[in-house]
Structure 1
Amino acid sequence: MVNKISPKIWLAGVQWLFFMFTNTFVVPLSLGHAFGLAPGEIAASLQRSFILTGVLCILQALWGHRYAVMDGPAGLWWGLVLNLCASAPSVGLSLTEVGGGLASGFLLASLTMIVLGSLGFASFLKKIFTPIVMGVSLFLLTIQLVMNFFKGMLGMNSAGEVDLKVAALSIVIAIFVVIVNLKGSRVISSYSILIGIVVGWIAYVLIFPSTHHVQEKAGSLIALFPWGAPNMQIGIILTAFVVGLINMTNSITCLATVEKLYKTKTSDSQYKRSYLLTGVFTIFSACFGLLPFGLFTSSVGLLESTKILERKALIIGGAMFAMLGLIPALSGLFSSLPTSVGNAVLFVAYLQMFGTSLRTIQGFQFNSKTVHRIALPVLLGICIMNIPPQAFALLPLYIRPLISNGLAMGVILSLVLETAINWSKYELPAAAEPLVMPETKKA
């Protein structure tokens, strides 16, 4: 079986490996620091994240949704956890209490996903997730990701200052990837992400030779509830439950978008199997101090950039990624990849998602009234994204992460607008085409 896999797929698998890594490794690092974990515990959580993400991607490709789509730590949860950790002292909670409440909330969210998914909840979500709602979701997701990657490209420190040398190199790398994608042959452009990371990593090491990565000795891979034992912090649990429901809608957006690339329709059984796997692995994340999982709609950007849709590539990448977690020396090596390089390459990769969001609403004609159905949620979401987190400090702790999340609020508003308003009443009839007289009858 292995011998039948072409070199093209093996290279695409390596590309998936880097894609998974650059989308994943910052998450356990930031969360470990937020919870004040020891360096060894953070290193162990990094390995656990690699193993679970790699295995889940393999299972999804083989049995779950059966597409080349990554399933990993969900960004929606990331903002929630960091916000709760930062706000804990102001409301008299310890980090252990917050972590225990999140563990309980993650377990509730995972069971909810498993139960609702098995009952066919996806069918209901597909009805309310109209092309407009999916377009809004993709617009906001693209903007959120590209903004984050752009900040990472600039090498910004905690004070918000830009490292000019790092920023200059990142811009050159981004331009290089764009040129490879546009001007390279079909074969070369298919590996633009991989080429960009390798070339950028080498360039970074040559320009900044003093930069080095010190690998910490990892703790035990089997460490239950490193953030804190499950408790009954009701507010945190309910917030996690709501975010879990919103995270379920992400699967609808992702699979409904990717199926257009595959020119197929996702069956109800595929949705059920996908939710089951994501839910089960979210239980693991609750037990091992990791973020709950979710489908990466950003995978569409990689698929559109590379034009390689084979599931075997994702399976190979997932196997390699899990191997990184099992071999500390390899995970240490990959952890030395400069974040600015990864951000520069992903910045270009996710530009394709903007085109996907435009195609989602293609065919709709907007007038001065109907434009509100897309302009209001998109612009509201962008506005919230650009408001400093401390501006929401006066809000109750348990709704603050939701209200301050531009992506979540934009999607919720879009769902409300599409459900509560009959937009067809405000659509103007198509203007009649001008009559053209035959040439023989012209004066």
Structure 2
Amino acid sequence: MLKQLSPKIWLAGVQWLFFMFTNTIVVPLSIGHAFNLPAAEIAGAMQRSFILTGVICILQALWGHRYAVMDGPAGIWWGLVLNLCASAQSVGMSLTEVGGGLASGFLLAGLTMIVLGSLGFASFLKKIFTPIVMGVSLFLLTIQLVMNFFKGMLGFNGAGEIDMKVAGLSIVIAIMVGLLHIRGSKFISSYSILIGILVGWIAYVCLIPNVSAPPTEAGSLFALFPWGKPNMQWGIILTAFIVGLINMTNTITCLSTVEKLYQTTTTKSQYKRSYVWTGLFTTFSACFGLLPFGLFTSSVGLLESTKILERRALMLGGGMFAALGFIPVLGHLFSSLPASVGNAVLFVAYLQMFGTSFRTIQGITFNSKTIYRIALPVLLGISIMNTSPQAFSLLPLYLRPLVSNGLVMGVVLSLLLETLVNWKKYELPLASTPLAVSRGK
């Protein structure tokens, strides 16, 4: 089968490999440090993360949603776990108790996704996820990701100051990738992200040689419940359950967006299979000390940048990514990829998502009253994103991860506005308002 793949698919597969790597590598590192795990255990968690992410991408492409969309550690869980770890001592809980509660919550979230997904819960979610809600979700997701990548491009040192060499190189890389995508030939444009990563990596090593060596300790590949054995910390379990339900809505946003690129309609069966696979691997994550899984809506940015929609490319990238987990030497080699280079390339790739979010609301008329349905949730979400999490420290521990998450609060507010307010009552004819967003030709 591999011999039948064209060079185009091989290159696209390598591009997917780097995309998965740059989106995944930081997660086990930050979570491991949050739980004060030894270096060997963090290395083991990294290997498990590579293997499970690569495998689920293959399974989703073959028997799940059947699109070229990455499924991996969901960002919404990342903030929850880091917030709970940081707050554990202040509420008299050990990290082991927090980890055990999260393991229980992850198991419950995974089983809930499997059951509700199999029962057709996607149909209900699609009804309440109107174009406005999806537009709000995509706007906030784009802003959140681009903000994070921009900060990662700057190479902050231990004192919180910008490393001018790293920042300068990152800006050059970002400009190069943008020009390759805009002005390059069809071939060059399709692989602009891969070219940017390889050229940027080489330039970083040549210009900024003081690169710290990646960890080389061998971790246990099959360690069970490294954060702590499941327990009955009901507050944490309930919070994880709520976040799990919110994470299910991400599948609706992602598949409803990507189907436009494929010019098709996602069937109920595809939604059900996607939820089953994501839920199953979420239960695996609970056992192996990883974040629960979710579809990466950011994959749309890669697909729009490259115009390569082949599932085989994703499957090839997933297979190579899983191999990194089984071959520690390769995993350690890729771990030396400078974070600033990956962030600079992804910064450009995800700019495409802004256009996707804008197109989601095209054709909808706004006036001085109906503009609130999108302005309020988007601007509230951005405001929360730019507010320090410490500002919410007076709230109960289990509310903080939700209330301090601008993406979650923006989407929840949008859902409430669309459900409780009859916006048709306030709409004006298109000719009488200057705020209409007309549909592109």
Partner Cα separation in structure 1 for residue 241 and residue 159 of structure 2:
34
Task: Name the structure 2 match of 1:439.
Answer: none
Q: Which residue of 2 aligns with 1:361?
A: 361
What is the TM-score when the length of structure 1 is the normalising length? 0.97
Alpha-carbon separation, structure 2, partners of 1:431 and 1:368: 14
Task: Provide the rounded CA distance (Å) in 1 between the counterparts of 2:182 and 2:94.
Answer: 51
Q: Distance in 2 between matches of 1:254 and 1:379?
A: 22
Equivalent residue, structure 2, for 1:428: 428
Partner of 2:5 in structure 1? 5
CA-to-aligned-CA distance 1:235-291 (integer Å, 9 cap, x gap): 000000000000000000000000000000000000000000000000110000000
* Mapped pair 1:93 → 2:93: yes
- The residue type paired with residue 264 of structure 1 is T
Summarize the alignment of residues 32-431 of structure 1 with structure 2, pairs less than 5 Å apart: 32-431=32-431
**Residues of 2 paired with 1:385 and 1:160: CA distance?**
19
Q: State the shift of 1:3 in Å.
A: 2.2
C-alpha displacement at 1:157, in angstroms? 3.4
Cα distance in 1 between the residues matched to 2:350 and 2:373: 24
Give the Cα separation in 2 of the matches to 1:313 and 1:70.
Answer: 11
1:211 Cα deviation from its structure 2 partner: 1.5
Q: Displacement of 1:432 after TM fit?
A: 8.1
How far apart are the structure 1 equivalents of 2:430 and 2:374? 20
**Kept in 1: contact 2:12–2:191 (CA 8 A):** yes
Cα distance in 2, alignment partners of residues 16 and 404 from structure 1 = 32
Deviations, residues 100-149 of structure 1 (Å, cap 9, x unaligned): 00000000000100000000000000000000000000000000000000
Residues 254 and 297 in structure 2, CA contact (< 8 A), matched pair in contact too: yes
Q: How many residues align?
A: 433
CA deviations 1:213-241 (Å, max 9, x no partner) are: 14321221010000000001010000000
Aligned-residue offset at 1:8: 0.2
The one-letter amino acid paired with 1:213 is A
Q: Contact between 2:61 and 2:68, CA under 8 Å: does it hold in 1?
A: yes
Q: Is the 8 A contact 1:392 1:400 kept in 2?
A: yes
Q: TM-score, normalised on structure 2?
A: 0.97
- The letter for the 1-side match of 2:260 is K
SS in 2 for 1:358: helix
- Residues 100 and 229 in structure 1, CA contact (< 8 A), matched pair in contact too: yes
Where do 5+ consecutive residues of structure 2 fail to align?
434-441
Given that 2:165 and 2:208 are in contact with CA atoms closer than 8 Å, whether structure 1 keeps it comes out as: no
Give the alignment's Cα RMSD to 1 decimal.
Answer: 1.0
Q: Is the 8 A contact 1:65 1:273 kept in 2?
A: yes
Separation in structure 1 between the aligned mates of residue 327 and residue 430 of structure 2, nearest angstrom: 62
Letter in 2 for 1:403: V
Question: Does the CA contact (< 8 Å) of 2:225 and 2:287 recur in 1?
Answer: yes
SS of corresponding position for 1:72: strand
Rounded Cα–Cα distance in structure 2 between residues aligned with 1:315 and 1:180: 25
How far apart are the structure 2 equivalents of 1:332 and 1:219? 12
By how many angstroms is 1:2 displaced? Answer: 2.1
2:72 is paired with a residue whose SS is: strand
Asked if the contact 1:42–1:218 (Cα under 8 Å) also holds between the matched residues in 2, the reply is no
Report the Cα offset of residue 391 of structure 1: 0.5
Matched to 1:27, the amino acid is: V
Q: Bigger shift: 208-217 or 233-242?
A: 208-217
One-letter amino acid of the counterpart of residue 207, structure 1: L
Tell me if the contact between 1:102 and 1:240 (Cα under 8 Å) persists in the aligned partners: yes
Structure 1 unmatched runs, 5+ = 434-443
Distance 2:360 2:287 in 1: 38
Deviation digits for residues 189-218 of structure 1 (CA, Å, limit 9, x no counterpart): 000000000000000000112324143212
SS of structure 2 residue aligned to 1:431: helix
Q: Which amino acid aligns with 2:203?
A: A
CA–CA distance in 2 between the matches of 1:163 and 1:314?
35
Shift of 1:377: 0.2
For residues 323 and 28 of structure 1, the distance between their equivalents in structure 2, rounded to whole angstroms, comes to 17
Superposed CA offset, 1:144-176 (max 9, x none): 000000000001235432111111110010001
1:430, distance to aligned residue in structure 2 (A): 3.0
Identity of aligned residues (%): 80
Which residue in the other structure is 2:437 paired with? none
Aligned to 1:440: none
Q: Deviations over 1:23-75 (max 9, x none)?
A: 00000000000000000000000000000000000000000000000000000
Task: State the AA in 2 paired with 1:379.
Answer: L
| Deviation per residue, 1:327-384 (Å, 9 max, x gap) | 0000000000000000000000000000000000000111000000000000000000
